[in-house]
Amino acid sequence: MEKGPKRPLFAFWLSQRIDKNMSKKIWTAVDDYIVSSLFEADPVLDAVLAANRDQGLPAIDVSAAQGKLLSLLVRIGGAKKVLEIGTLGGYSTIWMARGLPADGKIVTLELDPHHASVARSNFERAGVSDRVDLRVGPALQSLAALGAENAGPFDLIFIDADKPNNPNYLSWAMRLSRPGTVIVCDNVIRDGAVLDEDGSDANVEGARAAFSFIGGDKRLDGTAIQTVGAKGYDGFAIAIVN
């Protein structure tokens, strides 16, 4: 038996999908316009993306506009301690590290040793190695180690790793936070598939679990923003710890 309006919403989404290829061309062109209008040329970050590509890393880095947003969030909040769950080649890490003050630090967690090796080279290329603590291994183990070290509280936590573990990462984020900590969880819209409450896609289930966690924890005050751009149609959840 169908429950409430949620399933009809998903059916409506399926019936109303627009030409994704055409849309992505427009979204990418607008992203390019944003970058050309508001950003200075950055050969270092261009080289980072080229290194990621040359080393066979998946092209799932945040966009330049999203990276700049992360950097601005670090600056707006006056963050000195940042935690990133999911390093990949370090593109988003570099954006956030650049937003830190001279005495700031970002701890970033990466499962894949090859990705971590590429990221380390990128940190050196960008001149931020002194601000980055890269830890390699399963993120939940690394988070447990940070908890044992009393490494928190962090001022900003960015979650962008394997989506099925979103509730586990959010749980650790709460343990490693303080009132005022900002938590950002990426890729929670999934091209609109987040509406599918009966699907079998583990990434969509992880996105829905993030909404359930943030919406169900009274210590958090959050929202989510849908985004379109070079990375397609997705979005992120953002919350502050009360």
The CATH superfamily assigned to 18-241 is Vaccinia Virus protein VP39 (3.40.50.150)
pLDDT band at 3 (very low <50, low <70, confident <90, very high): very low
What is the rounded CA–CA span in Å between residue 71 and residue 58? 22
Lowest mean pLDDT among 7-16, 57-66, 128-137: 7-16
- Under DSSP, is residue 30 helix (H, G, I), strand (E, B) or coil? helix
Mean pLDDT (the chain) is 93
What mean pLDDT is predicted for residues 198-217? 95
pLDDT of 68 above 70 = yes
CA distances from 146 to 30, 99, 109, 130, 226 (A): 40, 22, 11, 19, 31
Convert the pLDDT of each residue in 15-59 to its tens digit.
Answer: 655 566 778 889 999 999 999 999 999 999 999 999 999 999 999
* pLDDT surpasses 50 at 142: yes
**pLDDT, mean of residues 199-206:** 93
Question: Per-residue pLDDT averaged across 145-164, rounded?
Answer: 98
Return all residues near 157 (Cβ < 8 A) that are at least 6 apart.
82, 83, 84, 85, 173, 176, 177, 181, 182, 183, 184
